[in-house]
Amino acid sequence: MRIQVLADVGKGITLPINYNHLLVGVIYRFLAESNPEYADFLHEEGYHVDEKRFKLFTFSQLMAERRRITGEQIHFGSTLTWFVSSPVEQFLSHFADTLLTQGSLSLGPHQLKIRDVTIPRTPRFHPEMHFRCLSPIVMSAVREHNGKRRTHYCLPDDPELSELIRQNLIRKHQAIYERTPQNGTLSFRFDERYIRRKQGRVTRLVDFKGIKIRGILCPFSVSGSPALIQVGYECGFGDKNSAGFGMVGMSKNFT
């Protein structure tokens, strides 16, 4: 499930172009206001599967009809739309509780009035679906380079991308439901026509608290287990979801 937040910007606000950490701060402050113990658990521990830890939430970029980027800053001149998503009811209830009680959110020096809070309809999940990115999709893997093991961020043509995303979704499913899915099949592919139209410029480098993260902004199709597709829709596809990566929305078909 997800929550849609509309926030007033008055005459406009300006934020650093790398603002993900500000939104993470909003989320944890809201959780701490409602339930400090849960906020501490999520921040320090999260949901474990073997050696992997998942926060099991994601969020979108800030969207607005009027916005412009100048250097390292982004200016929003109209109402902000922001989505926050999780399959964990406890997370969403604590987040929404503070959101509705306070009626505002702080982004850096800006105090924004909440105009509306809604719960969008959850789609039906089918064996083949098409999505657009509401935040960049990141899929990382540790690989050897020049004799050293380093974190590698997959590009759209990476031959291991689909399988890495499948394995990641299976682990998230285990974290949510404490079992593996009955159907563990999944195939993932980005829209090649869109990539050609953009001349391959579909990646974005995001600085998150000093860490450079390479993500992909491109429509994609996914086929296989509806249960795994639902996990991706609710938790985010790929990794680093709790830093604001991998959130998607429904999209039309492409060939």
Q: For residue range 53-79, list pLDDT tens digits in order.
A: 999 999 999 999 999 999 999 999 999
Q: Per-residue pLDDT for 2 more than 50?
A: yes
Q: Report residue 165 as tokens.
A: 């995303």
Q: Report residue 20 as tokens.
A: 């993900």
Q: For residue range 179-228, list pLDDT tens digits in order.
A: 999 999 999 999 999 999 999 999 999 999 999 999 999 999 999 999 99
Query: Domain 2-118, what fold?
Result: Alpha-Beta Plaits (3.30.70)
Cα–Cα distances in angstroms (integers) from residue 168 to residues 55, 123, 162, 164, 229, in the given order: 13, 22, 10, 6, 12
Domain residue limits, the chain? 2-118, 128-250
Q: Per-residue pLDDT for 254 more than 70?
A: no
Are 2-118 and 128-250 in the same CATH fold? yes
CATH for 128-250?
A: 3.30.70.1900
pLDDT at 223: 98
Q: For residue range 133-169, list pLDDT tens digits in order.
A: 999 999 998 887 777 888 899 999 999 999 999 999 9
